[in-house]
Amino acid sequence: MSKDKTFSLIVLVFVLLSVVGYVVAVENDEEKKHFIVFLKNNKPVLDEINAAATHLNVLMSVKESHVDAKESMVYSYTKSFNAFAAKLTKEEAQTLSKRDEVHSVIPNQYRKIQTTRSWDFIGFPPNVRRHPQQESNIIVGLFDTGITPTAESFKDDGFGPPPKKWKGGPCHHYANFSGCNNKLIGARYFKLDGTHDPLDILSPLDMDGAMYKVCWTTTGCTDMDILAAFDAAIHDGVDIISISISGGSNYVEDGISIGAFHAMKKGIITVTSAGNSGPSAATVANHAPWILTVAASGIDRKFISRVELGNGKNISGIGINTFNPGQKLYPLVDGRDVARNSDSKDRAGYCAEGSLDPKLVKGSLVLCRLMSWGSDSVVKSLGADGVIVQSDLFLDNAEIFMAPATMVSGSVGASIETYIKSTRTPKAVIYRTREVKTRAPFVASFSSRGPNPGSNRILKPDIAAPGVDILAAYTPLKSLTGLKGDTQFSKFTLMSGTSMACPHAAGAAAYVKSFHPHWSTAAVRSALITTARPINRRMNVEGEFAYGAGNINPASAVNPGLIYDHGEMSYIQFLCKEGYSGSSIAVLAGSNPINCSSLIPGLGYDSVNYPTIQLSLRSTQRPTVAVFKRRVTNVYRAVSVYNATVTAPHGVELTVAPATLSFTRLLQKRTFKVVVKASPMPPAKMVSGSLVWKDGRHVVRSPIVVYSPSQ
């Protein structure tokens, strides 16, 4: 995760999440899988011992013995919700689901990990206004793959003891883990089968379930481990949870969604990554409205590795090349021309392992198409002096290579192919990487895009934060590339991904919380969204589907002027409007079954007081009209007046009433409505505008998105 000296103002509790590999067991010729069993009385229980015993008794109803039930039990969730995880056959799961005390049985799902200058770029310099006394009481829980506590980023110089509210257990020394300090105050992991993954670096195991690593190299992360981590983190007293793991689309069955809802009820804001499946549409992950969803943006620098061809032509490639050339020019070959044999020619174009002739590549630079990472390892093992990787993907972030290397676009690669064919002795050289300035911010190509696949009423992602080429602490136990033969080791490295953006936003949320410790999770999220800096749509044609409200601006977020606040009932009303059943909402909320028809209808079109507005067109033939109702709270000056400014895109009419909001006291609330009338648009088209409230000091901005769903 990205770390920075500025960020050291936050007391970090690294809630290290990791999941175990898929466990296959066969009993009576029937495969067992992991399931999560939610009981109808889904409220957290005070007596953990009796709760665990109850869970075991329920499980015994489908097992042959007490021993069999105990061996099948994986987790008892007792702190924040009443449920358990167990290994069951399909028949056992079906039988359990029919019991009176069981609400639902959900299959365990596997999730993916979403894998300096950045703070200055977002206007958060070291001398930013601070609230030191309250900062020392803020705890950030990080759900991730692991941690190296000896890293420079985790030194606790100047930190006092952990906050008194901290309920986490002691932090012990284990293999490759030297223990905690006053900055890293807790580190644990959960692993559902207890076995060691040989590809992972060990960190401490908490037998009592205090804290949480839940993602493993070979298999990623599972819902049951994620829920166990949420259960413990909520109990331990964290204020912010940062989790860079992809979630599912069903709000009442996804582990991250369920855990984040329970965290929200305790005033804990969950900050998540949007995912790394971009630029494809409707790929954004973690899109529940009670979660802050963060896209990855680039900052105003990039790393160039220049290539000079033998004909004098210079080409700018992308990548981290730390090697100085040992000679003026090297022989240059196309991987397809140096195949081991005719059968491997296609694979040789990608420099796949075993496809190249060592005699023909030795001492040369090799042009390789990108199929998978590692071509630099392949060519170096054969004695080549470097590689030029050709790809139209991943050109906005710099990869680290273990040999002289750079990445070029498909069109540039084609020009290199043409040069190779034009001469009998093609040559080239790759120069050492240098940093250059570039236009920013922009959203990375890998960052997942909207529209929201879980709800057409909620805009996701919410905001963007730096996630491209971020200087991050790194483990000395693994080479920089992780490839065979790499001898490069460092305490720091450059990383890219929404998993880099997420902790920036979590740090910003913690900064806001240090000024407003009693604000709700919705209030903190609102402050970050309405003060975000808009991103120029020319940089990303997907607009708000790429970056939400814009790039985070934490220095302004501590004083947003107005906030869009709401609580648990607002989310329940939203879920009812989305069509979820009252009983399924009860599982999420940890409550008795809910009768949606008896609830007071929520606010307007979307039933939730969200700081952004999104409308999905209902017809490609007729105009769509929707009324959005909103309520803002005055959090700056008692007597203040805000006037509305509306920017409407072509084909959309926007009306705000009233257009002026007058306040006479702090925390006073005012309501207004936004009427959106949109003309028909072709499928998959999106346009956007905005609503801005101004009082002469504050700019409270809400993006308004209108789109026509794909057919």
Backbone φ, ψ for residue 334 (5° rounding)? -90, 130
3 state DSSP class of 671: strand
- Among candidates 230, 244, 235, which has minimal Cα distance to 145? 244
Q: Distance between CA atoms of 548 and 295, rounded to whole angstroms?
A: 8
End-to-end, the C-alpha distance of the chain in Å comes to 38
Distance CA 467, CA 299 (A): 8
Among the options 144, 254, 376, 385, which is catalytic?
144
Measured in degrees and rounded to the nearest 5, phi and psi for residue 242 equal -110, 120
Burial of 98 from C-beta contacts in 10 A (0-12 / 13-18 / 19+): exposed
Instruction: Give the helix, strand, coil percentages of the chain, each rounded to 5.
Output: 25, 25, 50
- Kindly give the interhelix angle for 223-236 and 255-265, rounded to the nearest 10 degrees: 10
Edge-to-edge strands of the sheet including 640-647?
613-616, 699-707, 686-694, 640-647, 660-663
> Is 34 tagged catalytic?
no
Round to whole Å and give the CA distance between 214 and 234. 16
> Which is catalytic among the residues 2, 18, 277, 499?
499
Q: DSSP code of 638?
A: S
631 sits in which H/E element? strand 624-634
- Rounded CA-CA distance 580/596 in Å is 9
Q: Which of 204, 416, 436 is nearest to 318 (CA)?
A: 436
Q: Does the active-site annotation cover 208?
A: no
The structure tokens listed for 351 are 């420099």
Cβ–Cβ under 8 Å, residues 693 and 664: no
Can you point out the beta strands (E) in 467-549?
A: 470-473, 492-495
Decide: residue 158, CB within 10 A, 0-12 exposed, 13-18 middle, 19+ buried. exposed
Catalytic entry in 47, 66, 172, 173: 173
| Cα dihedral sign, 360-363-367-373 | positive
> Does residue 305 have an active-site annotation?
no
Active site residues: 144, 173, 499
